[in-house]
Chain A
Amino acid sequence: MSKRSGLMRHTTMLFVLLAGGISTVLFSVKYQVHELEDSHARLVKELGEERRALHVLNAEWATLNDPRRLELLAVEYLGLQPIPPRQVVRPDAMLDIPVRELTFGEETQ
């Protein structure tokens, strides 16, 4: 009789402990999830802002790439001009260009 009630008491204790343990774990997991959700929301928001900035920068990049603007800049700062057709050659034409033999330390006059 007393042995049985003892077993019963142990079982109860065990379940109380188990319930307590699980509640603690659940509680902490719940908080972790909250934190993760917060950081997730923050990241999504940041990502949205970055994407927005990217979109605007793409538009700006397109504006800066205006061929007319590039032409003006190239002429003014780089001294470049449009490539005339005679400068376009077949790849094998490179072989016809004579190789200049240079010795270091010697300046061509």
Chain B
Amino acid sequence: MIKKSPLQTEIPFEALDPKRIHMESSRKQALDQGRTRLLVTGVVFAMAFVVLGGRLVDLTRHGKDGAPKWQAMSSSAIAAPVVTRGDVRDRNGHILATSLPTKSLYVDSRETLRGIRADEAADKLMSVMPELDRAQVLARIKSGGRQVWLARNLTPDQVWSINSLGIPGFGFRDEEQRVYPFGPTFAHVLGYTDVDGKGIAGMERTFQSKLGTHGESIDLSIDMRVQAVLHEELGKAKDKFDAVGAAGVVMDVKTGEILAMASLPDFDPNTRQGSLGDAGFNRVTKGVYEMGSTFKLFNTAMALDTGTVGMSDGYDASEPIRVSRFTISDYHAKNRWLSVPEILVHSSNIGSAKMALDVGAKKQKEYLRRFGLLGSTDVELPEVGNPLYPARWGDISTMTISYGHGIAVSPLQVAAGVSALINGGVMITPTLVKRSDDNPVQGKRVLKAKTSDAMRRLMRKVVRDGTGGNAEVKGYLVGGKTGTAEKQVSGGYDKKTLISSFVGAFPMTNPRFVVLVVVDEPKGIKESYGYATGGWVAAPAVGGVIERLGPIFGVVPDQGSDDAEENPEHPLYVPVSNGPKQTAWLRGGLTHAAY
């Protein structure tokens, strides 16, 4: 019998204790070696398991790299915008432009032809969408293309009924449609987008990257209510006087925010098709016009601010000025000596021209530049116009520019400039974006506060006693200035083709809003005694806007009696100057003898 080796006996593993086993050295050595290998393998496995365990713990904890971020996933799914393009809202958060998710129908014509006859498919589609052109639909189904559009931007109802037809090869793709809930009311402010939702005009274009690429919404300075009022009043004035166009803007004089801006004729951005022509032209920012007498405001402010004249100074306006082939005469001629307030109140061209000559071309240019009238219109729209003024600014230019001829600016520039005249003398760049911390008011002083105070009194007086009486709204102490300019028609001026405007502001004791209305080519009517001037056409429109604008902003009307402003203590009192006590010195350089 072969001797049993110790290993063959039933020795439990734990009994393999070196202290208990005594073997020959070679066997012992082999056993030690095996045990060491076992140990090493065991340790390696143990470590592998530790690593696996660690990874398991790691994975169970949220938010680690490699593990799905559940929280992040769910919130991103929740926060994902419904549409990719941002909304445009007014200053109170009302939606002015938004995108709606829609579906568009395409046909995979190979699939269709495999399952059904083309004319059968066309008939079926026509049964739910009768507005389509059958021949065209049929041609597209037979075209052989893999994705041919049949109809875009369908309503959910249409999608449902097309789906229920069960035509093979018809499919839908998610798209977005830009909608403008208020139609033409905001047309020129918002602009519009093309079929692919890219902004190509107005604020849609200016903020294309913010709205389109980043999908952020923007808040405009526009107030929906004021815009509706302005749009309506402009429409009324345009229709009443059978004008070719009208433009209007309402501005906050302290912040430069544009509360409303409209240009007629306009268009409906929802159903825009093809070229817009005149309807696409923004008369407020792109159009430049010779504004006429509203410029006398800038002229008077400049003369007062430089100290050239005082409130009780004046000029002889008894005879027209004749320089070479030009004659400067007064429309509302008084044929006598006029004080500075009277020059404005009766809108005297002669007085204004003489005043401008006294100030001089250099200062005049500097002041007009300060009021932002010589640079391009500065606002966040792509459609802005550049002013037109003479390259050679001689004495004749100085005189005509003093009453708003020989220089063409955009209506928005006038509104912004007038804001600076009455807000204490600070020029603020107009903006269409709501003021916030990112868009703070940045003003530049252009006039002495004292001049601004005088301008408030003078503008009030124009409405109280002068050409702007039709803009009066009882209690609101409206101030303003009319303007009537002849349009240039084939190189000359036409007395029948006018640009009639009125720039108003209220309440003049502490002005808050400037309202400007410009009417393009109004025709005189019976009610206005045949007149189509700013005082008859634009002033009532401004009055209409102010009458409805004031209550919207809770402006409390002045309770003073009608003659309170004749009291020298009243902040809007303008002293009456009744005779040629003083006449400002007129430079002798010009061909003085001519007038």
Which A residues form the contact surface with B (CB < 8 A)?
A: 1, 4-5, 8, 40, 44, 47-48, 51-52, 55-56, 58-59, 61-63, 65-68, 82-90
A-B contact pairs, 10 of them (CB 8 A): A52-B101, A56-B101, A58-B95, A59-B181, A62-B182, A65-B224, A85-B475, A85-B557, A88-B550, A90-B556
Known contacts A82-B551, A88-B555, A88-B556; A44/B74 CB under 8 A = yes
Contact A83 B98 (CB under 8 A): no
Nearest-neighbour CB distance to chain B for A44, whole angstroms, equals 4
Q: How far is the CA of A68 from the CA of B184 in the complex (A)?
A: 12
Q: Are A62 and B94 in contact (CB under 8 A)?
A: yes
* A1 CB contact (under 8 Å) in B12, B80, B475, B476: B12
**When the two chains form their complex, are residues A85 and B474 in contact, meaning their CB atoms are under 8 A apart?**
yes
Q: In the complex, A55→B86 CA distance in Å?
A: 12
Nearest Cβ on chain B to A76's Cβ, whole angstroms: 17
Q: How far is the CA of A98 from the CA of B547 in the complex (A)?
A: 27
Asked whether any CB of chain A lies closer than 8 Å to the CB of B196, the reply is no
Output the nearest chain B residue to A1 by Cβ-Cβ distance. B12
Which chain A residue shows the least CB distance to B98?
A: A59
Residues of B within 8 A of A1 (CB): 12, 15
B195 on the interface (CB 8 Å rule)? no
Q: Is the CB of B12 within 8 A of A4?
A: yes
Given A67-B224, A85-B473, A85-B555, 15 more A-B residue pairs with CB atoms under 8 Å apart are A5-B12, A48-B77, A48-B78, A55-B83, A55-B101, A59-B179, A62-B94, A62-B96, A62-B182, A67-B225, A67-B228, A85-B550, A87-B551, A88-B550, A90-B556
A5 to chain B: closest residue by CB: B12
Chain B interface residue count, Cβ-Cβ cutoff 8 angstroms: 37
User: Chain B nearest CB: distance from A12 CB in Å?
Assistant: 13
Q: Give per-residue flags for B171-199: 1 if the beta carbon is below 8 A from chain A beta carbons, else 0.
A: 00000000101110100000000000000
Q: Does B554 contact A (CB under 8 A)?
A: yes
A56's contact among B15, B100, B556, by CB below 8 Å, is which?
Answer: B100
Q: In the complex, what distance in Å separates the CA atom of A47 from the CA atom of B182? A: 29
Give chain B nearest CB distance to A71 CB in angstroms. 8
Which 7 A/B pairs are nearest by Cβ-Cβ distance?
A67-B228, A62-B181, A62-B95, A63-B181, A83-B551, A55-B82, A44-B77
Are A47 and B78 in contact, CB atoms less than 8 angstroms apart? yes
A55 and B229 alpha carbons, distance in the complex (Å):
27
Within residues 495 to 537 of chain B, which ones have a CB less than 8 A from any CB in chain A? none
B183 / chain A contacts, CB cutoff of 8 Å:
66
Q: Please name the residue on chain B nearest to A54 by beta carbon.
A: B82
Q: Contact mask B462-502 → A, CB, 8 Å, 1/0? A: 00000000000111100000000000000000000000000
A86 touches B474 (CB 8 A): yes
Given A1-B12, A4-B12, are A48 and B557 neighbors across the interface (CB < 8 Å)? no
Residue in A closest to B553 when the chains form the complex, CB atoms: A88
B369 on the A face (CB < 8 A) = no
Please measure, in the bound complex, the distance between the C-alpha atom of A82 and the C-alpha atom of B547, giving whole angstroms: 9
Q: If A5-B12, A55-B83 touch, does A88 touch B557 (CB 8 Å cutoff)?
A: yes
Q: How distant is the Cα of A55 from the Cα of B98 in the complex, in angstroms? A: 9
Residues of A within 8 A of B100 (CB): 55-56, 59
Residues of the B chain whose Cβ atoms lie less than 8 Å from the Cβ of A5: 12
| Cβ of B510 to closest chain A Cβ, rounded Å | 15
Chain A nearest CB from B269 CB (Å) reads: 14
> How far does the alpha carbon of A87 sit from the alpha carbon of B173 in the complex, in Å?
54
How many angstroms between the C-alpha atoms of A8 and B15 in the bound complex? 13
Measured in the bound complex, the distance between the Cα atoms of B101 and A56 in whole Å is 8
* B562 close to A (CB within 8 Å): no
Set of chain B residues within 8 Å of A61, measured between Cβ atoms: 95
In Å, the complex CA distance between A65 and B77 comes to 31
On chain A, the residues within 8 Å of B225 by CB distance are 67
In the assembled complex, the Cα of A63 lies from the Cα of B225 at a distance in Å of: 14
Contact (Cβ within 8 A) A4 B14: yes
Residues of A within 8 A of B94 (CB): 62, 65
B232 at interface, CB cutoff 8 A: yes
A61 to B547, CA, bound (A): 28
Chain B nearest CB from A73 CB (Å) reads 14
Assuming the contacts A55-B100, A59-B98, A62-B98, asked whether A84 and B551 have C-beta atoms less than 8 A apart, the reply is: yes
Chain A residues in 8 Å Cβ range of B12: 1, 4-5
Q: Is B548 at the interface (CB under 8 A from chain A)?
A: yes
User: Which residue of A is nearest B183, CB measured?
Assistant: A66
| Chain A nearest CB, measured from B41 CB (Å) | 20
Measured between beta carbons, the chain A residues less than 8 angstroms from B473 are 85
Contacts of B77 in A (CB 8 A): 44, 47-48
Q: Note all chain B residues with C-beta closer than 8 A to A90.
A: 556
Contacts known (A1-B12, A56-B100); A85 close to B228, Cβ less than 8 A:
no
